[in-house]
Structure 1
Amino acid sequence: MGTAVEVGQLESRMNAKDYMHLQSIFVDCSGKPRSLSRTEFIHLAWRSADRGSKQEYGLLFDSVVVTQKSSSLLHSSDEVKKEGHVDWGALCSFLLEETWRKLNQTKDFNVPLWKPRRTLTCPHRDSVQKVLYLQSSDQYLTVSKGGKVVLWQEVDLSVLSTCRLQNSTVASRDLWVTDVVLLQNVQKIAVSFTCEEVCFYDLRSKQDFPCKYKLQGLRFAPWCLDYWMDPCDADQAVLTIGDTGGQVSALHFTSAQTSLFESRCLQLDSDSAKVVSWDQLVKGRHSCCRMETHKAHAPAWVRKVLYLSSLRAFASCSTRPQSSMVIGWRDEGAGKMRITSYVTRKGVWDIDYHRQWNLIATAGLDDQVLLWNPYVTSEPVCALAGHLNEVTAVRFMQTKDQLLSFSKDKVLCLWDVSSQLCVQRVAGVFPKVQEDTHTLLFLREERQHLLLSFNSRLLLLEGTEEEKRTMTYGHTLNSALRKSLCRQE
């Protein structure tokens, strides 16, 4: 017989639709309820539900039968093996009993106590593409699709100044910012544009941010960026780029504080910016910057990139199921990058990494948040099921072992990573917007600031110093099972 842990793992991966499919196998052709033998149950359940193995359904059946036996519904082990049958009521009773058992074992969780939401007075007129925190000046920086930059006071989120990024490559009306990252060790921001450029702007200027470098000649539009610097050596840094052609490129800087690129290879353009040729980087003409690439996502767009410093690897995601998430790395002395692909049912919008737990969270188009061990590609560690629409963003709270997720139907969930339970659900406080609204989630744990953008609108959820304690069991099927047992619609 399967252990409670083994059975619980299958149960935690199933959703309401799976249970509806299971219920249907307990009805015969005439519409009358029926009971099933072990062989019948395994065959029909495995074929009807969208997850789980035959072995897991066998373990589930055995657990239900043994529960019946302990309740004096069966009387001998021979009967369990030869005549043991399970009906829908017995299965529901077992699942509810497991729910109550887990409920009694749950613990208290500290969850944020949010102040009333606050809609910020926002100078942006088009979609906010990125929110950054500038630690050197205690300010927030936001950049919109059209290149408008807004600096915000950290204390009260009041607007300090605005300016517009300059790029002479395209007309202002055609400018389209796709992503922005902070290069904190050199006081710059890197900005990607749909005109197939990545520009580097200096933050030390007291007026508009001047463009210092233009990385030109990319084959596709860069769509997402990530930047990491070595905390022990500020000269060592990695800029990762994901593009609309499915390519992930990593630029390794070895003397970032002196110069990102070699000056002898550069020319000036009309903005007085130094032009960096992508082809020259590919050919290794810059000794202070080497490049690594892979095209495992092609032809899908790369939606998010992350450099995993502890693994010396690059994680990325796409909405293509076969390459929902890809991790690329290079072994010591190896010439070619090694690639590992992770498959999901519908693809992934977003990813995040928890350094202490060594877990990657994925925001799925199948309404699920999956947690992955980077070393295991066959299946996720667990599935966090609670959203009813596509999950668009995930963010780990590194200091609390918690995870935030946000879905298209504007529901924010807070998960406890260790117990895999949803400990807080926030809904009904976000603005009513169209389904295709561009949404961004930014978390700053130190200040308990959670900023969400809905196109050009910015909304702040701020946690108080006090936290409320809650006890919860995050199973979404309790009410459905109860209604089924009580013959309710």
Structure 2
Amino acid sequence: MSSLLHPFRVTETPHREPLLYVSSTVDGHILCVGQDGLVSIWSANLKLKKTSLILDENENKLQNRRLKWVSDSILMAHYNKLIIGTCNREIRLYELSNLEPYCQIVALETMPLCLDYSVRGEGECVISYGDEQGCVNILLISSVAETLRNWTKYPPVEEIPTISANAIYEQENITFIRWKVHNDWVTKIKYIPSMESIISSSNDDCTALVIGYVSRTKNVKHRLKTLMGSSTVSHNKFALPATASPARRFQCDESVFKVHKGVKSFDFCRESNILVTGGLDRNIRLWNPYVPGWPIAILRGHTSPIGFLCIAHDSTKIFSVSLDSTIKVWDIEDHSCLLTVMPKASQIRGEMETCYFSPDLRALYVAAETFGLLQFQYKENQNQDSGTSHNKPIFCCQYNKQLQHVISCSEDSVIKVWDLKTGQLIVKVCEAHGGAAVTCMALDAIGKRYSNI
């Protein structure tokens, strides 16, 4: 069972534009990135520590130039970097320690609407982004530390080392892959190392959520047919030139989940093999990731589109937040709603912009007009252990009517004497090591002996 620690912590924020990203840093602080490039750093209990504008105001005042906005952001925690995407088709890296610009990649083919970063192996990582054309763009980077250092050696533009996208694609340590996946803008993207796949979503019904392999097909017949039967196949190390029309994966390389009105948010849990989705139709769906035809269950209760979903680290609960800032906690096993927190109760004002769930703190951070912290505690069933007398199946038991004692023996020959009135353990008689060798007669003798204690 879940409950809230009171009181709720809600505070005003220095951000005047919507927050796009909230996450915790390695030193336990909370980092927020706004659409205008304002970064704020908070303590875990929502005390503002620092603010910094990472997009220079002078850039937006240059003549004949559009205003520059942040489209999304992601932490590259292993290398102490903050990655942002901009509406000017750029990806920028900043030093997380001082929020100074590190380098930037410019002249991308499309705008990086949503970003993801993941470690792939030792010294390897994946930076992926979805765009307005419904494409999934993937950068597979090896020797990451060396590659990042090399990027800083390129000539500066606006005092930031700048490398063009075409130059990125030609580097030996980088493989660029681009797939046409959705029929609408990509709303979220996530790399799953255990599946070697990318999960991406959109608001399109027919391509609401797609799980697809990162690179080439795993089907041998399709691979041979492609290599032998097509003279137009690129032999470069990236699947497709940046300027070419993006290709679609083979059907055998992806699973397509159709959802009414599409998917705005999703989460995947490897341990329980559960995929959850939510979107404009206000319903949460639970899926087996290998069975896209129909959901395992549909959870109903939100009255506004769902903007955030998270499976808790213990894989038993789902946290969901709708755009009207209503928060719900669901049980994965019985598909019931354990807790509902209305905006008036949490004192969170305005429409939800972004959220972050911290498994370490068991806390949900909700960014709207105000910035709120809701910390959860789980009430364990206190009678759970009292109803379990042994770790192994019970072999036999006897009852002493005079003293109202119960003597029980488990399959591993652990004998215990219990007070039936209080349900308390009086004494653990013995623990044999020869298996379940205690007979009912012996147990009865033991019971008479210890009932006289």
State the TM-score, normalizing by the size of structure 1.
0.66
CA contact 1:146–1:176 (8 Å) conserved in 2: yes
Uncovered stretches (5+) of structure 1, i.e. residues with no partner: 1-109, 471-489
Question: Does 1:161 find its partner at 2:74?
Answer: no
Q: How many angstroms apart in 2 are the aligned matches of 1:354 and 1:188?
A: 26
The structure whose Rg is larger is: 2
The CA deviation at 1:131 is 0.8
Higher relative contact order (CA 8 A, sep 6+): 1
What residue number does 1:285 align with? 170
CA contact 2:310–2:357 (8 Å) conserved in 1: yes
Question: Does 1:461 find its partner at 2:355?
Answer: no
What residue number does 1:382 align with? 297
Q: Kindly tell me: are residues 270 and 255 of structure 1, through their superposed partners in 2, closer, same or farther at Cα, counting changes over 3 Å?
A: same
CA contact 1:222–1:241 (8 Å) conserved in 2: yes
State the TM-score, normalizing by the size of structure 2.
0.71
Which of 239, 251, 274 is the equivalent residue of 2:161?
274
The CA deviation at 1:295 is 1.5
What residue number does 1:450 align with? 364
Aligned residue-pair number = 346
Q: How many angstroms apart in 1 are the aligned matches of 2:179 and 2:153?
A: 25
Q: How many angstroms apart in 2 are the aligned matches of 1:151 and 1:325?
A: 33
What residue number does 1:401 align with? 316
Which structure 2 residues correspond to residues 274-353 of structure 1 after superposition, within 5 A?
A: 274-281=161-168, 284-298=169-183, 300-329=184-213, 330=215, 331=217, 337=249, 338-353=253-268
Question: Does 1:133 find its partner at 2:24?
Answer: yes
Give the residue type in structure 1 aligned to 2:141.
Answer: F
What residue number does 1:354 align with? 269
For the residue of structure 2 that corresponds to 1:260, the secondary structure is: helix
Question: Does 1:192 find its partner at 2:104?
Answer: no
Q: How many angstroms apart in 1 are the aligned matches of 2:379 and 2:119?
A: 33
Uncovered stretches (5+) of structure 2, i.e. residues with no partner: 227-238, 240-248, 383-453
For the residue of structure 2 that corresponds to 1:258, the secondary structure is: helix
The CA deviation at 1:241 is 0.4
In the TM superposition, structure 1's runs of 4+ consecutive aligned residues that sit over 6 Å from their partners are none
The CA deviation at 1:308 is 0.9
Larger fraction in strand:
2
The CA deviation at 1:394 is 0.7
Give the residue type in structure 2 aligned to 1:370.
Answer: R
For the residue of structure 1 that corresponds to 2:272, the secondary structure is: coil
What residue number does 2:107 align with? 217
Q: Kindly tell me: are residues 432 and 446 of structure 1, through their superposed partners in 2, closer, same or farther at Cα, counting changes over 3 Å?
A: closer
Q: Any idea what the Cα deviations from partners look like across 1:37-61, whole Å, max 9, x if unmatched?
A: xxxxxxxxxxxxxxxxxxxxxxxxx
Which structure 2 residues correspond to residues 24-423 of structure 1 after superposition, within 5 A?
A: 110-135=1-26, 137-154=27-44, 156-166=45-55, 170-171=59-60, 174-205=67-98, 209-230=99-120, 233=122, 235-260=123-148, 262-263=150-151, 266-271=154-159, 273-281=160-168, 284-298=169-183, 300-329=184-213, 330=215, 331=217, 337=249, 338-423=253-338
The CA deviation at 1:170 is 4.3
Give the residue type in structure 2 aligned to 1:462.
Answer: Q
What residue number does 1:15 align with? none
Q: How many angstroms apart in 2 are the aligned matches of 1:145 and 1:279?
A: 27
The CA deviation at 1:413 is 1.3
CA contact 1:304–1:316 (8 Å) conserved in 2: yes
Q: Any idea what the Cα deviations from partners look like across 1:372-414, whole Å, max 9, x if unmatched?
A: 2221121122211222232221111022421011123432111
CA contact 2:42–2:48 (8 Å) conserved in 1: yes
